[in-house]
Amino acid sequence: MSRMDDWLKKYLEEFSRVVSKISRKQIEGFTNEFRRALDEDRSIFVIGNGGSASNASHFATDLGKGASLAVGKRFKCMSLNDNVSWITAIANDQSFNDVYVDQLKNFAQSGDLLFSISVSGNSPNIVSAVEWAKDNGLLTLALAGGGEGKIVELCDKAIVIDSEHYGRVEDAQMVICHMICYAFMENPDYCKIDS
């Protein structure tokens, strides 16, 4: 076995360990909240930074397109990290800590859902958004890494991924996001909405 092959083997073994510890019950709980938002025509806002921002974009796409088509009703979802000109305007003119709060002020209403995806769970712009969401009646869900961070304490529901390795946590975030979206795509009898 080469040194690289040994490293790859260990990476996959550790990723398997991390994924095996994810709570199916918690994922089902998240899925039920997304279904409730769909049933009640609530908006869903997804946020993240770096690799978690990419996962937020991917999740919003899968939920907004694939899951919407499967259930016959459109999820009202958007990733707030996708509008580069708006984010940079807020960051430049105000503060990077405001890039999500400022957008929520334009769109969010009481009863909507904020889904935060973070490895550290302590990013100031994510924490600010969760605090604002809580103060304004939004349901707050979070995925966080093993260090947990402030958003785990703040959010109504959180899934903690048992690792602090950024790559493996981001890998596991996407596994969870895919499970939520494919719960709708592959279980039409459970999730179908009459329109």
User: What is the structure's pLDDT at 103?
Assistant: 98
What is the model's pLDDT at position 1?
75
The topology (CATH level 3) of 3-191 is Rossmann fold (3.40.50)
Q: What residues contact 170, with CB distance under 8 A and at least 6 apart?
A: 51, 52, 55, 119
What distance in Å separates the CA atoms of residue 30 and residue 24, rounded to the nearest whole number?
10
- Give me the residue spans of the domains in the chain: 3-191
The string of DSSP codes covering 62-100 is: IIIIIIHHHHTS--EEEETT--HHHHHHHHHHT-GGGTT
pLDDT tens digit at each of 195 positions of the chain: 799 999 999 999 999 999 999 999 999 999 999 999 999 999 999 999 999 999 999 999 999 999 999 998 999 999 999 999 999 999 999 999 999 999 999 999 999 999 999 999 999 999 999 999 999 999 999 999 988 899 999 999 999 999 999 999 999 999 999 999 999 999 877 665 554
Report the alpha-carbon distance of residue 40 to residue 125 in Å, rounded: 28
